[in-house]
Amino acid sequence: MWIPFLKPKPSAGNGVRRQMPEEVRALSRAWAPLSGRIAGLTQALEKEFRFGQSVIALDGKYRLGGNLKGGSSAMWIPAEREAFEAYRAWRERDGMPRVKDRRAFKRLRRICSSHGVRLLNGSWSGEEQETRNFSEKRGTVYRLTRDVLSCLPATHLSRPQFEVLQLGGWGPDGAKASAYEDGKVMIYDFALNGARRTFLGLLLHELGHAQEAAFPDSVRGRLKEAYERIARAGAVMGVDFLVDAQARKLYQLRFFEEFAAETYMIYTSQGGELRAFMGRQTEKVARAWRRVYDEYKAAFGGVEYR
């Protein structure tokens, strides 16, 4: 039996609709390739660029490569000038343009400091160094991060589950691009050098881990119960960033914590698509999804996203 999804009725003072910036909303659409539209950009090169690899000029020669895991190691191989030019063009359209933007940095630092979030500029030898002098080439990162944080409820920024935001460097685990641990959201060098789409998805995903940690045990219990029915039906949404949509679905189906983090990303970046997806499920699965949606809506203070 198929039923239309009935949106949760807002309580008094709730029902506010927000919208993330268009670059975040783009996560709801298929990731259109640029290979064939940029001179010298092959499918193979575009895959490398999306996955954080770059092409640099060094001593009159060109090298393709980058970080293997966070900032801890790297590998470079010879490349041609054509690949170098293709990378520069791709970076402007889909990647992280390297721009100096002190204003964006100050705005990000301001929103972090106002909520008690420590802003770190990478990591060195495992020691945290608070950002005071901004990175010359990370203006795009600062702007995107501030745009995302400004669209979240203030309560999501002022809580012990989100006390540190680390942009760059690496972390203490086996993750390749980002991680969350004990109130610390970490986005590694690997992710800062890839596609903007991937950075935005990862940032919201790791903030989703902070939300999962903030749920009371009673709420977590209800979410896990609903998740078990959703997982048995394979009824999760897949969003293509870093890895393909199918891989992201499988990861959610294996781990509740990943489902919770990914749901946060989807709730904020494409709320309308999530509500439509729920409406296409069978009655029992739709009911389970509605319980999940209601808990997230409550965690957002009644705020929903378009």
Tell me the per-residue pLDDT of 9-45, one tens digit each, with 9 for 90 and over.
Answer: 333 335 689 999 999 999 999 999 999 999 999 999 9
- Residue 184: predicted pLDDT: 96
Indicate the average pLDDT of the chain: 90
172 shares a domain with 102: yes
pLDDT level of residue 72 (50, 70, 90 thresholds): low
Q: What is the tens place of the pLDDT at every residue in 89-127?
A: 999 999 999 999 999 999 999 999 999 999 998 865 444
Segment 187-215 mean pLDDT: 96
Give CA–CA dist 168/202, Å, rounded. 13
Give yes or no for a contact between 18 and 303, defined as CB atoms under 8 angstroms apart. Answer: yes
Q: What are phi and psi of 284, to 5 degrees?
A: -65, -40
Give CA–CA dist 139/168, Å, rounded. 13
Give CA–CA dist 48/296, Å, rounded. 35
pLDDT level of residue 5 (50, 70, 90 thresholds): very low
- Domain tally for the chain? 3
Residue 26 lies in a domain: no
Flag whether pLDDT at 304 surpasses 80: yes
Angle at alpha carbon of residue 54, lines to 46 and 261, rounded to 5°: 70
Residue 168 lies in a domain: yes
Residue 276 lies in a domain: yes
Flag whether pLDDT at 272 surpasses 50: yes
Flag whether pLDDT at 254 surpasses 70: yes
182 shares a domain with 138: yes
Domain endpoint, select from 174, 205, 236: 205
Task: Bin 157: left if φ > 0, else alpha if -120 < ψ < 50, else beta.
Answer: alpha
Residue 30 lies in a domain: no
- Residue 198: predicted pLDDT: 97
Residue keyed to tokens 């979410």 = 223
pLDDT level of residue 84 (50, 70, 90 thresholds): very high
Give yes or no for a contact between 265 and 151, defined as CB atoms under 8 angstroms apart. Answer: no
More confident residue, 216 or 190: 216
Write out the DSSP string of 246-302: HHHHHHHHH-HHHHHHHHHHHHHH-HHHHHHHHHTSBHHHHHHHHHHHHHHHHHTTT
pLDDT level of residue 155 (50, 70, 90 thresholds): very high
Which alpha helices (H) appear in the chain, and where do they start and end?
22-25, 43-50, 81-93, 102-114, 139-149, 154-157, 189-192, 196-214, 217-233, 245-254, 256-269, 271-279, 283-299
Residue 29 lies in a domain: no
Residue 11 lies in a domain: no
Give CA–CA dist 5/68, Å, rounded. 43
Measuring CA to CA, which residue among 155, 154, 149, 216 is closest to residue 185?
149
Q: What residue numbers bound the domain in which 282 lies?
A: 17-21+213-305
- Residue 123: predicted pLDDT: 60
Give CA–CA dist 204/236, Å, rounded. 17
3-state secondary structure of 23: helix
Percent of the chain whose predicted confidence (pLDDT) is above 90:
80
Residue keyed to tokens 């420590």 = 118
- Residue 13: predicted pLDDT: 36
- Residue 301: predicted pLDDT: 97
- Residue 3: predicted pLDDT: 35
Running DSSP on this structure, what letter comes out for residue 33? -
Give CA–CA dist 249/290, Å, rounded. 19
Flag whether pLDDT at 74 surpasses 80: no
Instruction: Identify any residues that bridge with 55 across adjacent strands, giving them in sequence order.
Output: 64
196 shares a domain with 235: no
Measuring CA to CA, which residue among 110, 56, 96, 103 is closest to residue 79?
56
195 shares a domain with 110: yes
293 shares a domain with 239: yes
- The structure tokens listed for 106 are 């100050």
Running DSSP on this structure, what letter comes out for residue 2? B
End-to-end CA distance of the chain: 27
Q: What is the tens place of the pLDDT at every residue in 45-65?
A: 999 999 889 999 999 999 999
